[in-house]
Amino acid sequence: MFKKMLIANRGEIACRVIKTARRMGIATVAVYSDADAGALHVRMADEAVRIGGAPSTDSYLRIDRLLEAVVSTGAEAVHPGYGFLSENAQFAESLQQAGVAFIGPDAPAITSMGDKITSKRIAQEAGVNCIPGHAGVIEGPQQAVQVAQRIGYPVMLKASAGGGGKGMRVVRNDSECREGFERATNEAKSSFGDGRVFAEKFIEQPRHIEMQIIADRHGNIVHLGERECSIQRRHQKVLEESPSPFIDPGTRRAMGEQAIALARAVDYVSAGTVEFIVDAQRNFYFLEMNTRLQVEHPVTEMVTGQDLVALMIRIAAGEVLPLTQADVEQNGWAIEARVYAEDPLRNFLPSIGRLTRYLPPAETAQVRVDTGVDEGGEVSMYYDPMIAKLVTYADSREQAVDLLRDALDAYCIRGVKHNAGFLNAVVGQRRFREGRLTTDFIAEEFPDGFQAASAAPEDWMNLVASAAVVHRLRAGRAARISGQTQRFAYAVGEDWVVVADQKHHAARVVENGGAFDVHCEDGGYRVVTAWRPGNPIFAAQINGSMVRIQVENAGAGYRLAHRGAEMSALVLTPQGADLMRHMLEKTPPDLSRFLLAPMPGLLVRLAVQVGDEAKAGDELAVVEAMKMENSLRAADDVVVKAVLAKEGDSLEVDQPILEFE
What CATH number corresponds to the domain at position 655? 2.40.50.100
What stretches of 446-502 adopt beta strand conformation (E)? Answer: 495-500
User: In the prediction, which pLDDT does 487 show?
Assistant: 74
User: In the prediction, which pLDDT does 214 show?
Assistant: 98
Mean pLDDT across the chain: 93
CA torsion sign for 119, 120, 121, 122 is positive
**For residue 534, with 0-12 CB atoms within 10 Å meaning exposed, 13-18 middle and 19 or more buried, which class applies?**
exposed
Lowest mean pLDDT among 99-113, 303-317, 530-544, 628-642: 628-642
State how far the Cα of 128 lies from the Cα of 57, in Å rounded to an integer: 36
Q: Are residues 195 and 213 in the same domain?
A: no
Structural domain contains residue 442: yes
Which band of pLDDT confidence, cut at 50, 70 and 90, is reported for residue 457? low
User: In the prediction, which pLDDT does 627 show?
Assistant: 59
Query: Is 629 tagged catalytic?
Result: no
Q: Are 167 and 134 in contact (CB under 8 A)?
A: no
Q: Are residues 431 and 462 in the same domain?
A: no
Structural domain contains residue 305: yes
State how far the Cα of 32 lies from the Cα of 486, in Å rounded to an integer: 59
User: In the prediction, which pLDDT does 508 show?
Assistant: 96
Peptide bond into 533 cis (omega under 30): no
Relative to beta strand 27-33, strand 47-52 is parallel
Q: Is the pLDDT of residue 489 over 70?
A: no
pLDDT (tens digit, 9 = 90+) per residue, 339-351? 999 999 888 888 8
Q: Are residues 552 and 598 in the same domain?
A: no
Phi-psi region of 504 (alpha: psi -120 to 50; beta: other; left: phi over 0): beta
Q: Is the pLDDT of residue 47 over 90?
A: yes
% of the chain residues with pLDDT over 70: 98
Q: Are residues 197 and 227 in the same domain?
A: no
Q: Which of 236, 242, 60 is nearest to 162 (CA)?
A: 236
Q: Is the pLDDT of residue 78 over 90?
A: yes
User: In the prediction, which pLDDT does 235 show?
Assistant: 86
Q: Are residues 442 and 491 in the same domain?
A: no
Of 12, 176, 226, 288, which is the active-site residue? 288
Q: Is the pLDDT of residue 448 over 90?
A: no
Phi-psi region of 583 (alpha: psi -120 to 50; beta: other; left: phi over 0): beta
- 2 vs 116, more confident: 2
Distances in Å between the Cα of 143 and the Cα atoms of 100, 472, 590 are 45, 69, 45
Q: How far is CA 40 from the centre of its chain?
A: 19
Q: Is the pLDDT of residue 455 over 60?
A: no
Q: Is the pLDDT of residue 367 over 80?
A: yes
Q: Are residues 411 and 274 in the same domain?
A: yes
State how far the Cα of 7 lies from the Cα of 36, in Å rounded to an integer: 14
What is the rounded average pLDDT of the residues 414-430?
Answer: 95
Q: Is the pLDDT of residue 38 over 80?
A: yes
Structural domain contains residue 589: no
Structural domain contains residue 211: yes
Non-local CB neighbours of 418 within 8 Å, separated by 6+ positions: 339, 340, 341, 342, 351, 387
Non-local CB neighbours of 214 within 8 Å, separated by 6+ positions: 221, 222, 223, 224, 270, 271, 272, 306, 308, 311, 312, 315, 321
Looking up residue 85, the CATH number of its domain turns out to be 3.40.50.20
Nearest 5°: phi and psi at 114?
-75, -20
- 501 vs 511, more confident: 511
Q: Are 240 and 296 in contact (CB under 8 A)?
A: yes
State how far the Cα of 75 lies from the Cα of 9, in Å rounded to an integer: 15
Please identify, among 148, 173, 201, the residue that sits at the C-terminal boundary of a domain.
Answer: 201
User: In the prediction, which pLDDT does 481 show?
Assistant: 81
Q: Are residues 44 and 156 in the same domain?
A: no
Q: Is the pLDDT of residue 122 over 80?
A: yes
- Residue 516 amino acid letter: F
Q: Are 78 and 100 in contact (CB under 8 A)?
A: yes
Please identify, among 421, 452, 483, the residue that sits at the C-terminal boundary of a domain.
Answer: 452
Q: Are residues 216 and 96 in the same domain?
A: no
Structural domain contains residue 109: no
SS (H, E, C) 552-571: EEECCEEEEEECCEEEEEEE
State how far the Cα of 559 lies from the Cα of 551, in Å rounded to an integer: 6
Looking up residue 558, the CATH number of its domain turns out to be 3.30.700.30
Q: Are residues 522 and 641 in the same domain?
A: no
Q: Are residues 489 and 530 in the same domain?
A: yes
* Helix (H/G/I), strand (E/B), else coil: 454: helix
Which band of pLDDT confidence, cut at 50, 70 and 90, is reported for residue 256? very high
Please list the residues that pair with 650 across neighbouring strands: 602
What is the rounded average pLDDT of the residues 209-219?
Answer: 98
Nearest 5°: phi and psi at 304?
-105, -15
What is the rounded average pLDDT of the residues 73-99?
Answer: 97
User: In the prediction, which pLDDT does 479 show?
Assistant: 84
Number of domains in the chain: 5
Q: Are residues 416 and 539 in the same domain?
A: no
State how far the Cα of 229 lies from the Cα of 243, in Å rounded to an integer: 10
What is the rounded average pLDDT of the residues 649-661?
Answer: 90
State the Cα angle at 173 between 171 and 175, rounded to 5°: 95
Q: Are residues 157 and 228 in the same domain?
A: no
**134-138 contacts at long range (C-beta below 8 A, 24 or more positions apart):** 134/198, 134/199, 134/200, 135/198, 136/198, 137/196, 137/197, 137/198, 138/181, 138/197, 138/198, 138/199
What stretches of 410-521 adopt beta strand conformation (E)? Answer: 412-414, 495-500, 503-512, 515-520
Containing 215, the helix (H) or strand (E) segment is strand 207-215
Which band of pLDDT confidence, cut at 50, 70 and 90, is reported for residue 257? very high
Which band of pLDDT confidence, cut at 50, 70 and 90, is reported for residue 620? very high
Which band of pLDDT confidence, cut at 50, 70 and 90, is reported for residue 119? very high
State how far the Cα of 528 lies from the Cα of 554, in Å rounded to an integer: 24
Nearest 5°: phi and psi at 496?
-140, 165
Non-local CB neighbours of 568 within 8 Å, separated by 6+ positions: 500, 554, 557, 558, 559
Q: How many CB atoms are closer than 10 A to CB 96? A: 13
What is the rounded average pLDDT of the residues 245-258?
Answer: 97
Find the helix packing angle between 11-23 and 308-316, rounded to 10°. 70
Structural domain contains residue 612: yes
Which band of pLDDT confidence, cut at 50, 70 and 90, is reported for residue 164? low
Structural domain contains residue 110: no
Structural domain contains residue 118: no
Domain that holds residue 57: 4-103
% of the chain residues with pLDDT over 90: 79
Q: Is the pLDDT of residue 141 over 90?
A: yes
State the Cα angle at 362 between 361 and 367, rounded to 5°: 85
Please identify, among 201, 229, 260, the residue that sits at the C-terminal boundary of a domain.
Answer: 201
Q: Are 93 and 107 in contact (CB under 8 A)?
A: yes
